[in-house]
Amino acid sequence: MANELKGKVALITGGTSGIGRETAVVFAKAGAKVVVTGRREVEGNETIDLVRAAGSDGLFVKGDVSQAGDVQAMVKKTVEKFGRLDIAFNNAGIEGNALPIVEQPEEDWDRTIAINLKGVWLSLKYELQQMIKQGSGGAIVNMASVAAFFGSVGFGTYTASKHGVIALTKSAALEVAKNKIRVNAVCPAVIETAMADRLFGDPDVHKMMVSLHPIGRTGTPAEVAAGVLWMCSDAASFMTGQYLVLDGGFLAGPPALSDVE
């Protein structure tokens, strides 16, 4: 898979751990220079160390995707460092608090939507401005979720944000297709990350979640990163305005009742 992104410059939001970090390393191995953003400086620089160990160059830019000035700075510093922006993975996101709608504080809604949905909108806005200015096309992948396709008790805000990401992805793809910029989304089910540990770390809860994946396990960050790499490469040149579901069969339906203990 070497050199698929040779000569490209990629920006990854939420790259301090998990899927974002893994994708940064995969992009680096594929030949891209990688800019990683996030709110945690130590972890961000650790990701860049891994990028360099993978044989490429990188830069960490501290910032919050819910703040327009921070997002503008992310793109500006990317261009200042590497001269252009070809690829973006808008990965930053939070799970929010698990509460029924009638009990959820307004600030919980505001924070989750600000990062998961407004953050994608802001990232698209400034990434696309740069790519359009360059005039040489580009590829963007937004982090959605299988939660973009159903409701979930206690996670109404999270699922609303992910439904919104799909709509933004389709709208952006239509707006910039003429500019040869492709915009897609990735929709994982449960992936082995710190977020999953927070949500499903209890052994009984984890067992239940695994049972909802007919393939018999949860996914890994590497599996998501491989899908994102493909969508950002020329191998996916005819794909835009779509989403790639990586879910171990989650959305296909529950496993056979005889297989569930």
What is the mean pLDDT, run by run of 10 residues, along the chain of 261 residues?
A: 87 96 97 96 96 97 98 98 98 92 96 97 98 98 96 93 98 98 96 67 73 88 97 98 96 64 46
Q: What's the confidence (pLDDT) of residue 209? A: 76
Please state whether the predicted TM-score (pTM) of the whole model is above 0.85. Answer: yes
Cβ–Cβ < 8 Å for 14, 37: yes
Asked, for residue 52, whether it belongs to a domain, the answer is yes
Domain coverage including residue 233 = 9-191+220-252
Q: What's the confidence (pLDDT) of residue 258? A: 44
β-partners of residue 36 are 12, 60
Asked, for residue 86, whether it belongs to a domain, the answer is yes
Asked, for residue 206, whether it belongs to a domain, the answer is no
Q: What's the confidence (pLDDT) of residue 260? A: 46
- Output the CA–CA distances (angstroms, integers) from residue 118 to 18, 44, 85, 113, 210, in the order listed: 21, 22, 21, 6, 31
Q: What's the confidence (pLDDT) of residue 201? A: 62
Asked, for residue 198, whether it belongs to a domain, the answer is no
Closest CA to 186 of 104, 131, 243, 257: 243
Asked, for residue 260, whether it belongs to a domain, the answer is no
CA–CA separation, 212 and 63 (whole Å)? 35
143 in helix, strand or coil? strand
Asked, for residue 51, whether it belongs to a domain, the answer is yes
Catalytic residue list = 158
Q: What's the confidence (pLDDT) of residue 243? A: 98
Number of domains in the chain: 1
48: amino acid identity, one letter:
I
The CATH number of the domain holding residue 122 is 3.40.50.720
Asked, for residue 128, whether it belongs to a domain, the answer is yes
Q: What's the confidence (pLDDT) of residue 212? A: 82
Q: How does DSSP classify residue 102?
A: G
Asked, for residue 259, whether it belongs to a domain, the answer is no
List all residues 6 or more positions away from 129 whose beta carbon is below 8 Å from its beta carbon. 75
Q: What's the confidence (pLDDT) of residue 206? A: 72
Alpha carbon of residue 125 to chain centroid: 16
